[in-house]
Amino acid sequence: MIRNIAPDTCYIGVDDLDLNLFESQYRVPEGMAYNSYLILDDKVAVMDTVDERKGEEWLACLEEGLQGRIPDYLVVHHMEPDHSSMILSLAQRYPGIRIVATAKAIALLGQFFEGSSFETIAVKDGDTLSLGHHTLRFLTAPMVHWPEVAVSYDELTGVLFSADAFGKFGALSTCGFFGDEDGDWVCEGRRYYFNICGKYGGPVQVLLKKVLPLSPKVIAPLHGPVLRKDLGYYLDLYETWSTYGVETEGVFIACASIHGGTLDVATYLRDRLLEMGCPKVAFSDLTRDDPAEAVEDAFRYGRMILAASSYDGGLFTPAYSFLHTLQMKAWQKRKVALVENGSWAPSAGRVMKEMLGAMKDVEIVGETVTIRSRMKENDRAALDKLAEAILKQ
C-alpha cells in the first residue's frame, strides 16, 4: 500500500491478514501491519523493511514508490525480524545501499545474516543524517523494547519515525490508515503496549522526554495507523501507561475456575460491585479468554479481584500463568483482593500471596475468602465484605 504521509514521504508498508499469532503468542484477529516508509529527497531513504512473510509485496510497493530511483540509505530503527528480515534481500537488490542504525543494531546484523556483509553508518543519540532538504535526527530508545532501538525525527516535516512505540495490533485495511480514521485506536493500542512494552515503563519515559520537546506533527510507527491528529491524546496515554498509572476507574476481575464453582463466585462479585456503584467492572475468564487482554486490563485498572481454584497443592495453572506474566511485565502499584477455592486442601491463596508479594507496590486488601467447592449462602457476607474492601480503595 502506498500513501503520502508528509512532503516527499510515503508509506510503503504491508498488511498481514493471514497471521494468527503475532510473535507466536498474541492473537491478532484484525491482522497486523508491518509499516515501512520512503523519503525521496536528493538522497533516498527507506525507513525499515518488513516481515519476510510479506516481503515480495513490500518490494513491489518499494519499487513503485521509488519511481525509478535507487535508495541510498536503509534506516533500521529496530532489528526484530518483523522489521528486519528483508534487509539482506534489499541489500542484494541495491548493492550500494548503506544501512543507518545504532552500533548495537549493526552488531545484530551478523546474528541474523551470518556471513553477509553490509555497508553501514552507525548513529548515536542526537546524530543527524542529511538527505538534502530533509534532515533525520536520531534518538536512541534502548529497551523500547529491544536494546538497539532508535527513533528518528525528520526536522523538515516533523515526522517522528517511532519504531514499535505508538504501534497497535491490527492491519491498516481493517483498522484505518490514520489514527483518526480508526474507530477505537486505544483498545488494541493498549493491548499492544502492555504486552510488548509494559515491562519497560522507565525506558519509555526516557524516550518521551526526548520526544516531547520536538512536538512532532506526525507519528509514524512500525505497526498500526499513522498518527497525525490530537497527538497529545496518544502522548498522554503513553505517559499514564509508562508510569503505571491508573487509566480507568473500576475493578478488574480475573477468574480461573476448573468446574465452574469459582466462576460462579467471580460472577457474583461482578454483580455485587455493579450494585454497589462501581463505575466499571471488567471480567476475564483466564481459562478461555485472551490472556493478553487480561494483562491489558490488569494494567488499565487500579484494582483487581483474583479468584482461582487450587490445583496440585498450588494454584490452578491459568491463574499461575497470568500472575507469572504480570511479574514478567513488571506489574505494579495495584490493589488486589483474593478468593481461593479448594475442595479438600485450599492452596491457591498461599501461592497467589507469594507471587503478588514479589511484585512492586502491590497491596492485598481485605480478608482472602476461601470457598469450599461451591459458594454457599453463608459465603455471601464475606464476599460482600471483600467487594466493599476493594471498592473503598
Of the candidates 222, 251, 255, 265, which one interacts with ligand FEO according to CB under 6 A?
222
For residue 77, state whether it binds ligand FEO (rule: CB under 6 A).
Answer: no
Q: How far is the CB of 186 from ligand FEO (least distance, A)?
A: 19
Of the candidates 9, 48, 59, 83, which one interacts with ligand FEO according to CB under 6 A?
83
Our CB check for ligand FEO shows the closer of 139 and 390 to be: 139
For residue 164, state whether it binds ligand FEO (rule: CB under 6 A).
Answer: yes
Residue 329 near residue 200, CB atoms below 8 Å: no
Of the candidates 10, 11, 37, 78, which one interacts with ligand FEO according to CB under 6 A?
78
Nearest residue (beta carbon) to ligand FEO: 80
Contacts of 185 (CB under 8 A, 6+ apart): 168, 175, 179, 224, 225, 234
For residue 148, state whether it binds ligand FEO (rule: CB under 6 A).
Answer: no
Q: DSSP per residue over 172-234, as a string?
A: HHHH-SBGGG-TTHHHHHHHHIIIIIGGGHHHHHHHHHHHGGG--SEEE-SSSPBB-S-HHHH
For residue 15, state whether it binds ligand FEO (rule: CB under 6 A).
Answer: no
For residue 80, state whether it binds ligand FEO (rule: CB under 6 A).
Answer: yes
Our CB check for ligand FEO shows the closer of 200 and 301 to be: 200
SS3 52: helix
**Vertex 176: Cα angle to 185 and 85 (nearest 5):** 90
Q: Identity (one letter) of the amino acid at 230?
A: D
Stretch of 78-86, 285-293, 326-334, 336-344 lying at the interface with ligand FEO (CB under 6 A) = 78-86
Count residues near ligand FEO (CB under 6 A). Answer: 8
Q: Which of 126, 171, 170, 151 is nearest to 218 (CA)?
A: 151
For residue 82, state whether it binds ligand FEO (rule: CB under 6 A).
Answer: yes
Which residues on adjacent β-strands are paired with residue 135? 130
Residue 169 near residue 30, CB atoms below 8 Å: yes
Stretch of 77-85, 102-110, 280-288, 383-391 lying at the interface with ligand FEO (CB under 6 A) = 77-85
Q: Identity (one letter) of the amino acid at 33?
A: A
Q: How far is the CB of 51 from ligand FEO (least distance, A)?
A: 9
For residue 188, state whether it binds ligand FEO (rule: CB under 6 A).
Answer: no
Our CB check for ligand FEO shows the closer of 145 and 334 to be: 145
The Cβ of residue 262 has, within 10 Å, a number of other Cβ atoms equal to 29
Q: How far is the CB of 182 from ligand FEO (least distance, A)?
A: 18
φ, ψ of residue 388 in degrees (nearest 5): -65, -40
Instruction: List residues near ligand FEO by CB under 6 A.
Output: 78, 80, 82-83, 145, 164, 222-223
